Amino acid sequence: MQVLDCDILVVGSGLAGLVAALRLGRKSRVILATKRAPDESNTAYAQGGIACVMDPEDSLEEHVRDTLGAGVGLCRETVVRAILAEGAARVRELEQLGVRFERRTGRAEEYDLGQEGGHSRRRVLHAGDMTGREIIRVLVDQAERHPNIEIRPDLMAIDLVTTGWLKQPGPNRCLGAYLLDRSNGEVLAVRADHTVLATGGAGKVYLYTSNPDIATGDGLAMAWRAGLPILNLEFVQFHPTCLYHPEAKSFLISEAVRGEGGVLVNAAGESFMEKYDARGSLAPRDIVARAIDNEMKTRGDRCVYLDITHRSTRFLRHRFPNIFTTCLKFDIHMARMPIPVVPAAHYFCGGVEAGVDGHTRLPGLYACGEVACTGLHGANRLASNSLLEALVTSHVTAEAILDQPASGRAPRCEIPAWQSGAAVPSDEGIVVEHNWNEVRTAMWDYVGIVRTDRRLERAMRRIRNLRREIRQYYLDTLITPDILELRNIADVAELVVRSAQQRRESRGLHYTLDYPETDLSRPAAETRLQDPPGGAVSERLD
């Protein structure tokens, strides 16, 4: 088995992974592993932008207040302040690298700031409606030209390797990971002093999602299998407005459309958000998603509509070039007709417990971006705070790693060769597809926007049965990317259900008909899942 050595292994090539790699590459040898192309990530599909105080009339206190309000009492205020205060400096670094944020027409010194749900002011920096694509374009170019960064595309992480699993003396520590080379089907290992998980989210756990196909919760599942605590995974954000069309796959209609005056209406053309919240269509996402869900169920409609027809074609083409063009492909002229939309799974507010500096409970392992739970988002993420968190925490994580003394490096233990045992090539791809669809359908039907104890129990029974089948299939067949992703979404699905069953109240993104009230009279408790390591690497090698 091939073993690659480096100072730092970074897993994931979204905003968090790329910023961490670029910062670390100044002093260290970095391998950046990404399971597909380096420019394919959740970040690349981000339309709205980065929430950051850049307007002299805005203030950090207002941004903090909006973030805490959206998080419904579950944000860690010290974390909120630390991340939001760093935003402006990190944004300017992006600009120095070449990222171009929109400026106001005729006023080049002023940003064209957007407004989104839950924000009391315009504070979202954007690059048209393709902000993520612009950021990734610049960062990938920088990483590809960096002498200390080796980008390895088509390299999918399987599991973490730890000294505890190797039965080495001393405290448990991460040594790197096993990875599958998608180009040739071979398993290799990367041995590193420090490993950074920046694997993004897990939207593909649900049947309908705004996320690309890569968002299968790989880092979450790997960390849990290694015994790390997972926080607040019941808080899954459903974006209220994904394009509803039989030929449109997971296309997001940015919240910025509502920020520019778009109004949600039902099939009868009636504005309905005022019934649910005084902020109307600019209420936070949890409120809007539940309102749409209720409106559709009450009326029996398959979707609702986002109406911005009061804006001119010229304005919409300039402000939302990608959305405008995509809608036209489906014969929807957004200046002349409302856009059909439905909610879809979008963002995981919970994740691997990690500090702002990426530290986890496993020495040598760091987590930043959506895979991590720092406490910034609480029970509901404020719009466009996700790219801000990825940008800031990846920078701070890299600095924390670079500040580590030489004594903090991992021991150079030999990593055992991957053993396939009696595993045989899979000749039943249909089994993987069926299990994949069963997990995602169960999650959509029973663990969606509105939950009940009975629905969660049904989901748990089905997913636990599926996990048993998937585990056996994983052991009996030679691994493939499809099998690894199936294993990961099933693991994450059970964690979401378990977390939801623990929370006996409705709060933010977790709404249950059995406990519809939110108790704001006392501090909210975090949901924590931590199981002893097992059922991970040792399944194949012991």
Residues with active-site annotation: 285
Cβ neighbours, 10 Å, residue 385: 28
| Helix, strand or coil, per DSSP, at residue 423 | coil
Q: Cα 130 from chain centroid?
A: 17
Q: What angle do CA 446, 451, 452 make, to 5 degrees?
A: 95
Read off the amino acid at residue 485.
E
Q: Which helix (H) or strand (E) holds 162?
A: strand 155-162
Read off the amino acid at residue 160.
L
Q: How far apart are CA 52 and CA 60, in angstroms?
A: 9
Q: How many CA atoms lie within 13 A of 327 on its CB side?
A: 26
Q: How far apart are CA 302 and CA 290, in angstroms?
A: 15
Tokens of 235: 């808080």
Q: Which helix (H) or strand (E) holds 188?
A: strand 187-197
Q: Which residue has the tokens 């990222």?
A: 99
Backbone angles phi, psi at 204, to 5 degrees: -70, 0
Q: Where are the beta strands (DSSP E) in 163-303?
A: 174-181, 187-197, 230-231, 236-243, 263-265
Q: Are 198 and 371 in contact (CB under 8 A)?
A: yes
Tokens of 315: 């304005």
- CA separation (Å) from 510 to 138, 211, 234, 311, 466? 36, 20, 6, 35, 24
* Strand partners for 510: 507
Tokens of 518: 């939110």
